Structure formats: C-alpha cells, structure tokens
Amino acid sequence: MALAPQAAALLAALAGMPAPDYSRLDAASYRAAIEAGRAAGTIGEGDAVAAEEDLTLPGAAGPLAARLYRPVSQQASLPLVVFFHGGGFVACGIDTHANLCRTLAARANVLVLSVDYRLAPEARFPAAAHDALAAVRWAAAHAAQLGAIPGALAVAGDSAGGNLAAVCAQQLQGEVAIAHQLLLYPVVDCSHEHPSYETYGSGYLLDAGLMRWFKDQYFESQADRASPLASPLGAERIEAIAPATIVSAECDALRDESERYAERLSQAGVPVTHVRWPGQMHGFASMIGVLDAANAALDLSARALRAALHP
C-alpha cells in the first residue's frame, strides 16, 4: 500500500535533506540535527495538562532526569505510566517526546513519568536497559509519593523506548506488578533484520542504514544484540507478562519485528492488541498536528491505558 497522503507530503518535504554518511556520522551531529528539527516547531505540543514537574530519580549508575505529567483530573490519586522515549538509544529525551506524554496523560487520565535514561555511545548496552529497570522499580516503590495509586502501573515507549518498556515487562515479571505495556513501533530484535528492512528501509524516514548505525553505537559486542535485555522478541519465556498494546506502522523497517512480537505474545497466552496503521511510517504518532493518524493512534493508546488502569 502507498503512503497515506499526509505522510507522503511530509516525506516529500523532507526529501531534499542530504542523506548522512553513516560511516562518518557521530552522535553529537545526529543529536544536533534532531534538535534543529524540533526547534523548527512544526509538530504540535500535545494536549494540555495540569502540571509538569521535573524530578531526579536513581538510575542504575547514577541520577536520572525525569518529568512527571499530571492531567486535569478530579481524582486525588491516579494510575502511573512510566514512559521511555525513542531515538535509537542515541538521541532524544524528555523534551522531544513531551507531546506524546502530555497527550497520553490527558486522554488516559493518568500520571506519566518520562525518564531520561543514559544514551549511547557514551553509555553502551546494557546501560539504557538497566536504567529503565531501575526507573520502574523506583516508580513502583514511590507511587504514593508521586501521587499515584500503588499497583496501578503501566510501561510505555516508542521505538527504542518501546524496546525498554518491553524489556521491563519481561524482566520485572513477578517483581513489579505491571498492568499493561504500550509499545509504539518498538525495536524488539537487535540481532536480526526482518524483511521489512528491505521493503521499507529507504525513503520512509527511518532508513535501514540509520538503524544499523544506532545498533553500532549501542552495542560493543555482536553477541550482546541477542540478549533479552536487547531483543525481547528472542526471550525464551514470555508467559504471564503484562498484557500489551502494540502499534506498528505499515511502511516501517521495524514493522515485521513489532508484529512478530505481537504474535509471540499471543501464542504465549499474553493478551495483546495489535494494530498496523496503514500508510504510515516509523515515528508517525509523534507527528501531532501534522498527521491525523497521530491523533487516532494516541486515542487508541489512551483507551488501552484507561481500560487497563481504570477498572
């Protein structure tokens, strides 16, 4: 299927940008390019919330910045969603994904805690995974302090952040009660390239070459890429982990691995809702105010969180 008209127009507008030379690209330059795009202000800021509070919480090797989004609500205490941003384990942060967090907080009527985990190549695998695990453990233990309902906890993330959310749902099973996992076009297999890398690996925003570059920044050892802390798709035991909502994009190099993970969860008896968004590319849910599909996908995501966290 062809790209949806709005997605095609967005990609056409970006088509004049020079393709990076991945053999020479460095993380600082890539981050600067992301920040320049964000500063252009073409993407919406998301729904309004009552408050945003910057926090510091303990990570696996030191303090991590975080931000708590509080929706307009009549409830004194609310469920909590711990959110991990995408960016290939290399870039982005709390600010780049604030629009997603605000919108999920407002539409699902939940607190959203967005966590700034350590980035590669300065902190290579498994730094990000260990930080994510530490953040969820801390959030669960300090729910009341945050104004959250103890035990009403979900994890969420997009792309690389979806990887971290999936890792947390697997690794903390039996230790932390996680009610749901919301995974937006997640990276779930760092050890293999699936057929969608070939089909949608060029010209659809997330190039296969960029994904390979991300992995080279994150991993020092090829063997590490198959670890369940990196590739939750390959984990041997996934029974009894949190129910999942997985959103994949039709025109995305990561489509096949995201959808294979949904299949594996279902086969293991884990309740899972998977929606492939037609005509969309990787990262589309962040394009609030640009793509109508972003609004629809976040509506669906918020409904899933509401159903899981507001009995």
118-128 residue pLDDT tens: 999 999 999 99
The predicted structure's pLDDT at residue 46: 97
**Which residues, in sequence order, are bridge partners of residue 183?**
157, 246
> Per the residue annotation, which of 23, 77, 114, 159 is the catalytic one?
159
- Residues 133 and 239: their CA atoms lie apart, in Å, by 19
The structure tokens 């009995």 sit at 311
Chain segment 133-145, per-residue pLDDT in tens: 999 999 999 999 9
What is the dihedral sign for C-alpha 206, 208, 213, 215? Answer: positive
Q: Is the pTM of this model over 0.85?
A: yes
159 is catalytic: yes
Region at 272 (left for phi over 0; alpha for psi -120 to 50; beta for the rest) = beta
Peptide bond between residue 63 and the one before it cis (omega within 30 degrees of 0): no
Would you say domain 5-309 falls under CATH 3.40.50.1820?
A: yes
- Residues 28 and 196: their CA atoms lie apart, in Å, by 28
Longest dimension (CA), the chain: 53
Give domain limits for the chain: 5-309
Count CB-CB contacts under 10 A for residue 109: 19
Angle, helix 292-309 to helix 98-108, in steps of 10 degrees: 50
Confidence of residue 41 (pLDDT cuts 50, 70, 90): low
